[in-house]
Amino acid sequence: MIKKQMKRFYKDANLVSDENGFGVSLDGRRLKTPAGAELSVPTQLLATKIVDEWAAVDVQIEPAKMPFFSASATVIDRVFPQMQTLRAELADYARAELICYRASDDDAELLAHQRQHWDSWLDWMQEEYQIGFHCTQGIMPVAQPEAAIARAEALMDEVDGWSLSVLYRSVQLSSSFVLSWAFLQGRLDAGALFEASCLDELFQNQKWGLDYEAETRQNNIRAELQDIEAFFTCLRA
């Protein structure tokens, strides 16, 4: 267990590998997750990033400043044990798909902006996966076809725990299953995912200006998406 305010207790951090994958050793002892599981990751690049994080510790061990280790430990400790639950939550996001909610005709400029930037992603889901979403305008809710949700669930069943963690956190940040799935497939990078998912806010920012709280929140979302992208890049190496 890695506790807050723990001081560096080791001299060397090294890469190790076995039949289960890649890991990290601290003075010859295999690094474990906060829940006590052996840390084993699928790619050498990811393990190397984690080694670098532990080697860079000066005096105090601060997992919050070790994004590759923290993300990997989260997958092992929290994603693998509840993958079906996470898939069910993602299906609920798909039922309330962000980019299916459009401005009313009274806000024609924003509506045109949404259509320009979002319609192509709905078309892509239909053409590539035969998943058709319904759109609505204004505040009226729209029920998505259960056949479409079932196909989205089937897609997620083919995703391993590491990629599922990327999808899940991306959806949490963006509120869009469709855009996050495009991110997972390499069709969008982190910057484009941020721009597309925050489209309404960014449009209003340009029109009315940006306040401090909104700017801080948007910067945090952008930064976390970039961290997720870096983690995912290591998974695909």
pLDDT computed for residue 156 by the predictor: 97
The DSSP bridge partners found for residue 196 are none
Residue 5 has pLDDT above 70, yes or no: no
Q: What is the pLDDT of residues 144-158, one digit of tens each?
A: 999 999 999 999 999
Q: What is the CATH number of domain 82-235?
A: 1.10.3580.10
Distance CA 32, CA 50 (A): 12
43-52, 63-72, 209-218: least confidently modelled range: 209-218
pLDDT band with cut points at 50, 70 and 90 for residue 208: confident
Exposure string for 220-230, b = 16+ CB within 10 A, e = fewer = ebbebbbebbe
pLDDT computed for residue 4 by the predictor: 56
pLDDT band with cut points at 50, 70 and 90 for residue 64: confident
The DSSP bridge partners found for residue 61 are 6
* Closest to 111 in 3D by CA, of 199, 226, 14, 7: 199
Residue 57 has pLDDT above 60, yes or no: yes
Neighbours of 163 (CB within 10 A): 16
Using an 8 Å Cβ cutoff, are 190 and 225 in contact? yes
* Closest to 94 in 3D by CA, of 25, 150, 173: 150
Q: What is the pLDDT of residues 89-143, one digit of tens each?
A: 999 999 999 999 999 999 999 999 999 999 999 999 999 999 999 999 988 899 9
Dihedral, 40, 44, 48, 49 alpha carbons, nearest 10: -80
pLDDT computed for residue 55 by the predictor: 97
pLDDT computed for residue 2 by the predictor: 53
Distance CA 112, CA 99 (A): 13
Q: What is the pLDDT of residues 15-38, one digit of tens each?
A: 999 888 999 999 999 999 999 999
Rg of the chain (C-alpha set): 20
Q: What is the mean pLDDT of the chain?
A: 95
The ranges assigned to domains in the chain are 6-65, 82-235
pLDDT computed for residue 214 by the predictor: 87
Q: What is the CATH number of domain 6-65?
A: 3.30.2180.10
Distance CA 112, CA 108 (A): 6
Report the amino acid identity of residue 141.
P
Distance CA 44, CA 88 (A): 31
Residue 210 has pLDDT above 90, yes or no: no
Which one is predicted more confidently, 3 or 154?
154
Q: Do domains 6-65 and 82-235 have the same CATH topology?
A: no
